[in-house]
Amino acid sequence: MRIQRVREVLDASVLCGEELLDREILSACAADLMSDVLAYVKTEALLLTGLTNTQVIHTADMMDINCIVFVRGKMPSQELIEYGRKHDMVLLSTPHKMYYASGLLYNAGLGACR
C-alpha cells in the first residue's frame, strides 16, 4: 500500500515527507513500547504510535521504518518533525485512536508484521 493511500484511509495530515507519499508499505505495527518494535518489526513497515519523543525516530531509523503515524491527533514538536525530515521519513498524524486506526488499515488490506 502506498503511503498516500494510508493518508487517505486514516484522514491523516502530513507533517513531513510530502514528496515521499508514493513509497510502498508492506506491513504495519502499532506500539508504544519501542523495545517491542525492535523485537518484532520486519522491513518496509509502518509504525503507528502514541509516543512523540525522539526515541520513536531513533527506533524507526534502526528498523528502516520510513513512515510513522502519530495517533489520537498527537502532534510531535517541530524539532522532532525536523528530525524525521532529516532521516528521510514520512510523518503523519491521524485523529483516530490506535486500535481504530489499526483496524482501518487492516481492513484496507495492510497486513501485520509477521
Partner 1 sequence: MEKLHLHYDVEGNDFIAAGEASGQVKRALRQLGIDFEVIRRCAICMYEGEINMVVHADGGTADVMVEKDKVTIILEDRGPGISDMELAMQEGYSTASQDVRELGFGAGMGLPNMKKYSDSLEINSEVGKGTKVTMVIHIPG
**Could you tell me the smallest distance in angstroms from the CB atom of residue 40 to partner 1?**
10
What is the x/- site pattern for partner 1, positions 2-41, by CB under 8 A?
Answer: -----------------------------xxxxxxxxx--
Read off φ and ψ for residue 55, nearest 5 degrees: -65, -25
**Could you tell me the smallest distance in angstroms from the CB atom of residue 107 to partner 1?**
27
Options 5-13, 16-24, 46-54, 106-114: segment touching partner 1 (CB under 8 A): 46-54
C-alpha distance from residue 71 to each of 44, 49, 93 (Å): 19, 6, 6
Is 44 a binding residue for partner 1 by CB under 8 A? The answer is no
**Could you tell me the smallest distance in angstroms from the CB atom of residue 29 to partner 1?**
13
Q: Phi-psi bin for 3: left (phi > 0), alpha (psi -120 to 50), beta?
A: alpha
Is 58 a binding residue for partner 1 by CB under 8 A? The answer is yes
Is 75 a binding residue for partner 1 by CB under 8 A? The answer is no
Q: Which has the closest alpha carbon to 17: 28, 2, 30, 31?
A: 2
Strand bridging mode 67-70 / 90-93:
parallel
What are the residues binding partner 1 (CB under 8 A)? 31-39, 43, 49, 51, 53-56, 58-59, 61-64
